[in-house]
Amino acid sequence: MCRHLAYLGPPSTLGRLLLDPPRGLYEQSWAPRRQSHGVVNADGFGLGWYPQDGGPPARYRRAVPIWADPNVPELAGAVRSGAVLAAVRSATAGTSQDEAAAAPFRDGRHLFSHNGAIADWTRLPQDLGAESGLDSAALLSLEARSDSALLWALIISRLRKGEPADEAVSGVVRAVAAVRPGARLNVLLTDGRTVVATRHGDTLWYRFGGGEVLVATEPDDAQTDHDWHEVPDRSLLLATAAGVREAVRL
């Protein structure tokens, strides 16, 4: 399993979002409170953000635990963004361990993260058949050997055909769950303006107010005027800095 977080709102430092809050994403890398599979998230991490000049999203990813990278505090204090996606990784057995396997994955203006696991994931395209939308070239070009990278490729295939992001995510989650009923398929997808998130097999929470929204695997203990809300299992969430909507039952 993993822990991940997406933010939309006024420009903020990565440190305020990830490192400063008690029980925040940084601390969840070694002391998650609601993680039911695995104990620590020490198989890498990734920080993704959208520059304030409107350029494409940038990433910083490593294959080491986030607490073991001495560059993180300085980077997190210097980078400011109004749209962030970050994750700490607990790898699925049989997946690659290099930094290319750490979320967020990227395609154009989209950033993506997967919190969960898919059993026998290497056979998934075969079991999905034509519904996968992937040819041999797409499979050979996977960014990493992992269930998360394959799930991302399935979603990219739909996005590039013009499907709205929420439909692409919900369609892939339903299709994968149909052939892998035990799969855990919590995902975050953002284009810097909207966050599409699913809760499917693990926890998902959001906090909204003051012109900003946080969507996360589990809440932090930051003192704010706005409460965390738990998202029901098997559902999809749409969030912008202007509002949050639980849109689809999965």
| Catalytic annotation, residues | 2
How much of the chain is in helix, strand and coil states, percent to nearest 5?
A: 25, 30, 40
Shortest CA distance to 123 belongs to which of 139, 138, 137? 139
Q: How far is CA 9 from the centre of its chain?
A: 17
- Helical packing angle, 147-159 and 165-179, nearest 10°: 130
Query: Tokens in use for 200?
Result: 């499917």
| DSSP reduced 3-state for 83 | strand
Quick one: how far is CA 22 from the chain centroid?
A: 20
Cβ atoms within 10 Å of 122's Cβ, excluding its own: 13
* Ordered alpha helix ranges (H), the chain: 14, 25-28, 72-78, 124-128, 136-140, 147-159, 165-179
CA separation (Å) from 83 to 33, 35, 53, 115? Answer: 25, 25, 12, 19
- Which of 65, 91, 197 lies closest to 148, judged by CA? 91
